[in-house]
Structure 1
Amino acid sequence: GNPLTHTVLRGAINKHGQSIPNYHYEDLVRLISMYQERDLQNSAIIIDANHANSNKQYKEQIRIVREVLHSRKVSSEIAEYVKGFMIESYIEEGSQKVTDRVYGKSITDPCIGWEDSEKLIYTIADNV
């Protein structure tokens, strides 16, 4: 495999359709251990704060990012490996049908809006 690797943690969906998040402290420690066992170079973790990690509840992205930032704060190893976040963000909060034609509102996945995005970016900046 590729020794220069990264992982995007976006959660999973089990056979019953339930979301299984994988951004918690224990998940990060487990992944870091797997990286270390394989002696991979330049390993990195990106957290997808939406999708199965949020059970597709887009407003949960804010809490998830804050939780991961806390994990980075209490563990220097987690801080070393977690390099970023994927966040569903747009001008207007939520989503719409393509026929609704609301300017600045997603026509795909629901997103946090501009104000929440701005606050979250500043929170991330203050904690890295």
Structure 2
Amino acid sequence: MDNARRFTFPGSSLSVNRMGYGAMQLAGKGVFGPPRDPDEARAVLLEAVASGIDHIDTSDFYGPHVTNHLIRQALHPYPANLVIVTKVGAYRDDKGGWIHDLSPDFLGRSVEDNLVHLGLTRMAVVNLRIAG
């Protein structure tokens, strides 16, 4: 893929295709709970990677925890070129409501939870969800 179709993260040598896969819709309706068909969700992930997608955007608050578990089930051990990007700064209440929390303690725990649920020892990219 030519360089015009790639993005290099500022201050790093990490480069990904500009087109990635957003895992948000793998969870159930309203991005809450399990998908209607978990096997189909895992098949989507496998097809995305087979089609050349080299980064997946996810978060533990999708489901919650649902998308990260699906990603791990479908793709772990991960291909060497796959970059998993997560987001922290929010969580879901028991009714699916979005609760923002930008406290340092919560953000640190959120990164650790993502690592555990994805089966990773480090995250190359962690985005901060501030609002919306």
Q: TM-score, normalised by structure 1?
A: 0.44
Q: TM-score, normalised by structure 2?
A: 0.43
Is the helix fraction higher in 1 or 2? 1
**CA radius of gyration, larger in:** 1
